[in-house]
Amino acid sequence: MNYSHKNYTVESVTSGHPDKICDQISDAILDDCLRQDSNSRVAIESFGGHNLLLIGGEITTRAKVDFAKIAKEIYERIGYENNLKILVNVSQ
């Protein structure tokens, strides 16, 4: 097949959008792991909405990470009240 045109897609969301919040939570977990153990290997995804957050993935680290605490701190720092249900499924 010969495709003569290219398609581009772009996602743009506001700062309080769940996608942005979840990215900040995943980044904060990575930062905490690396702060405690510079050899950490972290594959974490956070996703959710409507007061539910799921943190999943796998890590190899000596760091002691409180995933839910990090998520709550980010959530509150952004300005949301903490009525967030958090489910964590991270393999270490």
User: What pLDDT score does 19 carry?
Assistant: 84
CATH number of 18-91: 3.30.300.10
**Domain coordinates in residue numbering, the chain:** 18-91
* pLDDT greater than 70 at residue 74: yes
Q: What is the pTM of this model?
A: 0.82
Nearest residue to 53 (alpha-carbon basis) of 12, 91, 82? 82
**pLDDT tens track for 26-68:** 999 999 999 999 999 999 999 988 889 999 999 999 999 999 9
Cα–Cα distance for residue pair 49/22, rounded to 1 Å: 9
Share of the chain above pLDDT 90, in %: 61
